[in-house]
Structure 1
Amino acid sequence: MKRQMVTLVTFLIAATVWGQDLEKVDYISPFIDGVAAVKKGKVWGFIDESGTMVVDFRNDLIISKQGDYGYPVFNSDRCLFTEKRDGISYFGYIDKTGKTIIEPRFLNATHFTDGWAVALELVKRRVGTNELLEKPLVSYDYFEVIINNQGEVEHYLLDKPIHIALDKEYLRRPPNISCKVLTANLIARLNSDKSWTIKKIE
């Protein structure tokens, strides 16, 4: 009986130590913002520094190019993901539990840098009424904006909105973003001649 108890205790200890192992992982990224991306097949998840899986494997995380390889990243406690609706991609952010914190409402977005991200904020405007069908006529524009990690718009980066046809045939790829965050106080804007303008964020 005593030997059986020792065997049982040994088994339970082994299960505790080895039961959480993550096996057959194809890639493990460096730790960034306290977590590392892990790839299994075509899906990605995240582990923390104890090896615990904090974001389960999923196929909607956006890859960030890092040298010769790319993987999803967290920065400012946010990771970028995408969701398709009516054939159009929208972008939002999750936290380190996998919970959606910023709903996927942007036509494109960047990973966070120093608490800021650049996103394309979609705006719907009513421009009239179709009298025959008794339906409103709407127009869509987007603004290039800087958002904080709650998804709130902090700065508008363009002087005027850009008109867009909200149609999957037109939006087969997300519209380009022309600005990027350099630091908490600086952004860079790509000019039409492919040069960059560096601007301070007030």
Structure 2
Amino acid sequence: MKNVFILFLSLIIFPNLSVGQIIENIDEITPYHEEFAAIRKGNTWAFINTNGEIVIDYRDDLVWATDIDPKSKKKILYKESVRYPAFYEGRCLIKKMIKGIYYYGYIDKSGKTVIEPEYVNATPFDKGYAVVLKISKEELGTNDLLLKKVVSYSYDEVVIDPTGNTKMYLQGPENLVLTKEKMKWRPTIESRLVSPNLVAIKTKDNGWQLRSMNASN
């Protein structure tokens, strides 16, 4: 009788131990990828596990495609290629706006940023790697009239590994005007990973070149 009373008392004091988590007011739930599904409230996303528990709380920096801004109901300029946030090979795309320009990076399944947002475009990881557009900065001199440094920007299309190290140079450099107005439409990524050891690179004449990942740069 004493054991029954203790069990009854524990169910009153600790009800959440026997009742699953309830998540309400969700606008969208996505298919599971690597045992994580994304759920959306307005313009923020969280990740749940297969038990329906939130494992990464709501945040507004996950990358997803939308034709309108849910707040303003106006068409947005930054059209993403990723339909919804998802983990691919343990990495999920994030973006960060700096001076009106979006930069892209990645988080891991704990929500920790493992590759800082520093690319002007990036793909999800596939076959062990991702293709990104990496910025280079060159100081050309000083404007004597304005007393300001003259800087030139460009980007290269490169392959990175899950830690952010460059595995292979693909093509570039391409000149880049790094201003909010010029970056309304970010540069596109043309290359595709065909296999863990092979990448397809789109050439200037709209043809394709196949290159081994083991080839020298």
TM-score, normalised by the number of residues in structure 2: 0.80
Once the 2 structures are TM-superposed, how far is the Cα of residue 194 of structure 1 from its aligned partner? 4.8
What letter corresponds to residue 77 of structure 1 in structure 2?
G
Identity %: 38
Question: What is the match of residue 200 of structure 2?
Answer: 188
Give the one of 100, 103, 109 matched to 1:90: 103
What letter corresponds to residue 32 of structure 2 in structure 1?
F
Unaligned runs of 5+ in 2: 67-81
What letter corresponds to residue 101 of structure 1 in structure 2?
V
**Structure 1: how far apart are the matches of 2:12 and 2:202?**
60
Question: What is the match of residue 166 of structure 2?
Answer: 153
Question: What is the match of residue 131 of structure 1?
Answer: 144
| Bigger strand share | 1
Count of matched residue pairs:
198
User: Structure 1 residues 34, 57: closer, same or farther in 2, change over 3 A?
Assistant: same
Give the one of 131, 136, 153 matched to 1:118: 131
Give the one of 77, 91, 96 matched to 2:90: 77
Q: Would you say the 8 A contact 1:116–1:147 is kept in 2?
A: yes
Once the 2 structures are TM-superposed, how far is the Cα of residue 5 of structure 1 from its aligned partner? 5.3
Give the one of 173, 179, 185 matched to 2:185: 173
Q: Would you say the 8 A contact 1:79–1:93 is kept in 2?
A: yes
Unaligned runs of 5+ in 1: none
Once the 2 structures are TM-superposed, how far is the Cα of residue 145 of structure 1 from its aligned partner? 0.5
After TM superposition, the structure 1 stretch with the greater mean CA deviation from structure 2, 192-201 or 44-53, is 192-201
Q: Would you say the 8 A contact 1:146–1:156 is kept in 2?
A: yes
Question: What is the match of residue 50 of structure 1?
Answer: 51
TM-align CA RMSD: 2.6
Once the 2 structures are TM-superposed, how far is the Cα of residue 28 of structure 1 from its aligned partner? 2.9
